[in-house]
C-alpha cells in the first residue's frame, strides 16, 4: 500500500468516526427530549388528577358542613342566630393568615382535633372490606395504592347583614350564612393542590318542591287551578289526536 492510499484510508476512517459520533449525539438528544416531554405530560396529568381530587374533597366537606348546620338548626328557627352562637362561644374563630381579621369572622365548623385542623379522607386496608382486597378468583392482592394525602376543612360565618355600623357582625338577622370548604391534596414535592368551594345557605322551614311545567307556574300539586297565575281549566273546544297508523 502506498503512502497516499494509507492517508486516504485514515481520512475515511476519521470521517466515519465523526459521523458515528454525530448520530449517537442526535439519538441521545432525541431520547432526552422525548423523556422530558413524557415527564412533563405525566406531571400535567398528575396535577389535573390532584385538582379533581381536591375539588371533590372540597365538595364533600361542603356537603358535610351543610348537613352539620341543618342538624344544629331547629325546625322552627327563622335565622341561624342560635346555630352560630355555640360555634362562636367555643372559640372556633380562625386566626390563621388569610382568614384572620375578616368581618364577619370565619369559624371552624368541623374541627378535627388539636394540633391538626384538617379532616382526612383516608382509604387504607383497614378501612376496606375483604372482597375489595382480592380479585374475582378470591386471590388476595399483593399490593394496591392507598389514599392518605386528601384532606379538607370547613368554615362558616354570617353574611354581611349587620346594620347599622357597629352592630354585632355575628348576629344573623336574615337567615343566610356562608359555608366554605377547602379541599387539599398533598404531594411529595411539598406543594399542595387546593380547591375552594362555598355556598350561601338559607334557613327555610317546611318542605320545598320543585318541578317542571304546571307546578312551577303555581297551579299546585292537586291540579285544581286555584292559584294567581292560572284560573281557568284548559280550553278543550278544539282537540287534535294523532292518526292511527296501526295496520288492520
Amino acid 48: pLDDT: 87
pLDDT, residue 156, reads 94
Q: Give the residue from 185, 177, 180, 167 showing the smallest Cα distance to 62.
A: 180
Say if residue 30 is in the same domain as residue 60: yes
Three-state SS at 21 = helix
Same domain, 60 and 111: yes
Shared domain check, 109 and 47: yes
Please state the φ and ψ torsions of residue 4, each to the nearest 5 degrees. -70, -40
Q: Is the pLDDT of residue 58 over 70?
A: yes
10 lies in a domain? no
Instruction: Give the pLDDT mean for 161-186.
Output: 81
Residues 93 and 26 in one domain: yes
Regarding pTM above 0.85, the answer is no
Decide which of 136 and 200 is more confident: 200
Buried b (16+ CB within 10 A) or exposed e, 193-214: bbbebbeebebeeeeeeeeeee
Does one domain contain both 113 and 180? yes
For residue 175, being part of any structural domain is answered with yes
**Residues 76 and 108 reside in one and the same domain:** yes
Q: Indicate whether 33 pLDDT > 70.
A: yes
Q: What is the pLDDT of residue 65?
A: 94
Percent helix, strand, coil in the chain (nearest 5)?
A: 35, 15, 50
**pLDDT top residue among 167 and 141:** 141
Q: Which residue has the higher pLDDT, 211 or 199?
A: 199
| φ, ψ for residue 64, nearest 5 deg | -65, -40
Cα–Cα distance measured from residue 61 to residue 64, given in angstroms and rounded to the nearest whole number: 5
Residue 8 lies in a domain: no
* Domain span holding position 217: 210-236
Positions of E strands within 164-228: 176-185, 193-202
Whether 105 and 228 map to the same domain: the answer is no
Q: C-alpha grid cell for residue 5?
A: 492510499
What is the spatial distance between Cα 98 and Cα 91, in angstroms, rounded to a whole number?
A: 18
Do 154 and 223 lie in one domain? The reply is no
DSSP letter at 233 equals: P
φ/ψ of 151, rounded to 5, equals: -150, 170
In this structure, are 177 and 73 located in the same domain? yes
What tens digit of pLDDT does each residue of 108-132 get?
A: 999 887 778 899 988 777 878 888 8
pLDDT of residue 61: 94
Q: Give the range among 31-35, 126-130, 146-150, 230-234 with minimum mean pLDDT.
A: 230-234
107 φ, ψ (degrees, to nearest 5):
-125, 145
pLDDT in tens, 215-228: 545 555 555 555 55
Look up residue 154 and give its DSSP letter. E
- For residues 125 and 109, give the distance between their C-alpha atoms in angstroms, rounded to a whole number: 29
d(CA 161, CA 177): 10
Phi, psi (degrees; rounded to nearest 5) at 200: -95, 105
Q: What is the domain count for the chain?
A: 2
State the chain's mean pLDDT as an integer. Answer: 78
100 and 175: one domain?
yes
* Whether 52 contacts 195, CB under 8 Å: no
pLDDT category at 178 given cuts 50, 70, 90 is very high
> Does the residue 125 lie in any domain?
no
Amino acid at each position: 500500500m502506498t503512502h497516499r492510499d494509507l492517508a486516504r484510508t485514515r481520512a475515511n476512517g476519521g470521517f466515519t468516526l465523526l459521523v458515528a459520533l454525530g448520530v449517537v449525539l442526535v439519538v441521545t438528544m432525541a431520547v432526552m427530549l422525548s423523556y422530558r416531554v413524557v415527564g412533563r405530560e405525566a406531571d400535567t396529568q398528575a396535577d389535573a388528577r390532584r385538582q379533581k381530587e381536591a375539588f371533590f374533597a372540597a365538595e364533600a366537606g361542603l356537603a358535610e358542613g351543610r348537613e352539620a348546620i341543618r342538624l344544629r338548626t331547629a325546625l322552627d328557627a327563622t335565622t341561624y342566630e342560635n346555630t352560630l352562637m355555640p360555634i362562636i362561644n367555643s372559640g372556633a374563630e380562625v386566626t390563621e393568615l388569610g382568614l384572620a381579621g375578616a368581618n364577619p369572622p370565619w369559624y371552624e365548623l368541623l374541627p378535627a382535633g388539636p394540633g391538626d385542623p384538617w379532616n382526612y379522607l383516608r382509604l387504607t386496608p383497614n378501612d376496606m372490606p375483604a372482597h375489595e382486597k382480592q380479585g374475582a378468583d378470591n386471590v388476595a392482592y399483593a399490593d394496591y395504592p392507598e389514599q392518605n394525602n386528601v384532606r379538607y376543612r370547613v368554615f362558616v360565618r354570617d353574611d354581611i347583614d349587620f346594620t347599622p355600623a357597629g352592630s354585632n357582625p355575628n348576629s344573623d338577622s336574615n337567615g343566610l350564612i356562608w359555608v366554605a370548604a377547602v379541599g387539599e391534596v398533598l404531594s411529595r414535592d411539598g406543594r399542595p393542590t387546593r380547591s375552594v368551594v362555598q355556598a350561601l345557605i338559607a334557613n327555610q322551614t317546611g318542605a320545598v318542591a320543585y318541578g317542571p311545567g304546571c307546578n312551577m307556574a303555581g297551579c299546585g300539586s292537586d291540579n285544581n287551578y286555584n292559584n294567581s297565575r292560572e284560573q281557568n281549566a284548559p280550553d278543550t273546544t278544539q282537540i287534535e289526536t294523532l292518526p292511527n297508523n296501526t295496520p288492520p
